[in-house]
Amino acid sequence: MHAGKLLNDEMWHVLAVGLPLDFAPKDVSEGIVALARRAFEAGAFIGIVHPAQYGLQAEDARVLSFAHAMEV
């Protein structure tokens, strides 16, 4: 999933594995926290992917405290 901006103005990259087929598409006003939380609550495995590629900072990652994993 791609939504919202990090502190460095790059776009978020979040993986959601196991979304149900009826998972509603991202709303235009939905940021990464709301979108990822909705996916998490739908039962998906949430991963923050390739953080080094786009300069993810610890402060960014903390907003997705419910994520299951981070790619290293």
Q: What angle do CA 59, 18, 53 make, to 5 degrees?
A: 35
Cβ proximity of 19 and 54 under 8 Å: no
The mean pLDDT value for 36-56 works out to 95
Q: What angle do CA 35, 19, 27 make, to 5 degrees?
A: 30
**Amino acid residing at 63:** V
Phi, psi (degrees; rounded to nearest 5) at 58: -55, -40
Residue-wise pLDDT for 6-44, tens only, equals 999 999 999 999 999 999 999 988 999 999 999 999 999
- Domain locations along the chain: 14-70
The whole-angstrom separation of Cα 35 and Cα 52 is 22
> Is residue 72 over pLDDT 90?
no
